[in-house]
C-alpha cells in the first residue's frame, strides 16, 4: 500500500512556522547537496516570542469563553469526544478559515507595512462581522486585554503604539497581529499560533462543559495538527474580496447562550 506524501509547500510552511532556519553547506564529503541546519539567535528569539503569544498563560481572558461550544453542549449537539471534535473542526474550517484568519493576515500586513488606514478599516469590519452580542464582547475584551499588555511591555515602535492605543474598540485579531509583528513573528507562524490557540481553548472548554477526560482532549488537539497547515496557507492566499462570514447556526446558539439558565462561560 502506498502512503500519501504532503506537498513541498506544506512542508516548507511547517518548517518556517517553527523557526527561521539558516542552511549551511557542509565541507565534508563530495555531495554539494548535503546540508546542516543551524539555528540563529534571531530564530530562537522568534520561537520564544511565538510560544509567549500562543501561551494559555497570556492574560487576555480566553479561558472564560467557549465561542458557542457550551451552547452546543446545552442543545445536545456536543455530548462526547467525537461530537466535540466535529464541532471544533467545523469551527476551524467554516468560521475561522473563511473570515477570521484571512482578516488576521490582512491586519498583520497592515501593521507591518504601516498602512494604518487599512488596519482601522479591517478592525471595524471584523467587529461588525461578529455573529452575536456575546461574540462581539468576547473579541473586544480579549483584544483590549492584549493591546494593554502590548502597550505596557512597549512592544513595537512609538508610532505603532500610538495607533494601537487609538483603536477603540479593538478586536482580538488586530491586537494579535500587532503583537506578532512586534515580537518578530512571521505571517505563517502568526496564523498558525492563532489557530492552535483557538483550538486549544476550544478543547479546554470541552473538557469542562461536556465533560471530557484529559486524554480525550489531547486526541482532539492532536487530530487538528493535520488541518492547520492547509488553513494557514488558505488564509494567506485569501484576498479581501474573498473573505466571508456565514455561520447562522453559531449565531443562533450564541444568542441563546446569553439567556442560558446555567453556564460556565461568557460565550
- Sign of the Cα pseudo-torsion (212, 214, 217, 219, in order): negative
pLDDT, one tens digit per residue, over 194-205 is 999 999 999 999
pLDDT at 1 over 70: no
pLDDT, one tens digit per residue, over 185-195 is 999 999 999 99
pLDDT at 59 over 60: yes
Please name the residues in contact with 22: beta carbons below 8 A apart, sequence gap of 6 or more: 37, 38, 39, 40, 43
Q: How far apart are CA 202 and CA 63, in angstroms?
A: 9
How confident is the model at residue 204, as a pLDDT? 95
pLDDT, one tens digit per residue, over 129-161 is 998 999 999 999 999 999 999 999 999 999 999
Under 8 Å between Cβ of 232 and 101: yes
Lowest pLDDT segment from 17-31, 57-71, 96-110, 161-175: 17-31
Q: How far apart are CA 58 and CA 70, in angstroms?
A: 22
pLDDT, one tens digit per residue, over 230-245 is 999 999 999 999 998 8
Please name the residues in contact with 190: beta carbons below 8 A apart, sequence gap of 6 or more: 104, 108, 176, 177, 180, 181
pTM of the entire structure?
0.85
Taken as a whole, the chain contains a residue count of: 267
Amino acid at each position: 500500500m502506498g502512503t500519501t506524501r504532503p506537498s513541498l509547500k506544506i512542508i516548507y510552511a511547517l518548517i518556517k512556522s517553527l523557526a527561521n532556519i539558516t542552511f549551511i553547506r557542509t565541507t565534508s564529503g563530495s555531495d554539494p547537496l548535503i546540508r546542516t541546519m543551524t539555528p540563529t539567535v534571531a530564530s530562537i528569539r522568534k520561537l520564544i516570542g511565538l510560544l509567549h503569544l500562543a501561551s494559555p498563560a497570556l492574560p487576555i481572558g480566553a479561558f472564560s469563553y467557549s465561542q458557542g461550544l457550551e451552547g452546543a453542549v446545552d442543545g445536545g449537539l456536543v455530548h462526547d469526544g467525537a461530537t466535540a471534535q466535529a464541532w471544533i473542526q467545523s469551527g476551524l474550517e467554516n468560521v475561522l478559515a473563511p473570515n477570521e484568519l484571512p482578516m488576521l493576515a490582512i491586519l498583520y500586513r497592515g501593521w507591518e507595512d504601516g498602512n494604518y488606514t487599512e488596519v482601522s478599516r479591517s478592525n471595524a469590519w471584523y467587529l461588525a462581522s461578529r455573529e452575536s452580542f456575546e461574540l462581539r464582547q468576547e473579541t473586544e475584551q480579549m483584544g483590549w486585554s492584549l493591546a494593554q499588555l502590548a502597550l505596557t511591555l512597549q512592544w513595537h515602535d512609538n508610532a505603532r503604539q500610538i495607533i494601537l492605543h487609538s483603536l477603540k474598540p479593538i478586536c482580538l485579531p488586530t491586537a494579535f497581529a500587532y503583537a506578532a509583528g512586534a515580537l518578530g513573528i512571521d505571517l505563517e507562524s502568526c496564523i498558525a499560533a492563532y489557530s492552535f490557540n483557538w483550538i486549544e481553548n476550544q478543547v479546554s472548554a470541552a473538557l469542562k462543559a461536556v465533560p471530557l477526560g484529559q486524554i480525550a482532549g489531547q486526541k482532539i488537539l492532536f487530530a487538528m495538527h493535520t488541518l492547520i497547515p492547509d488553513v494557514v496557507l488558505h488564509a494567506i492566499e485569501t484576498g479581501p474580496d474573498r473573505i466571508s462570514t456565514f455561520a447562522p447556526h453559531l449565531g443562533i446558539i450564541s444568542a441563546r447562550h446569553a439567556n442560558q439558565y446555567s453556564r460556565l462561560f461568557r460565550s
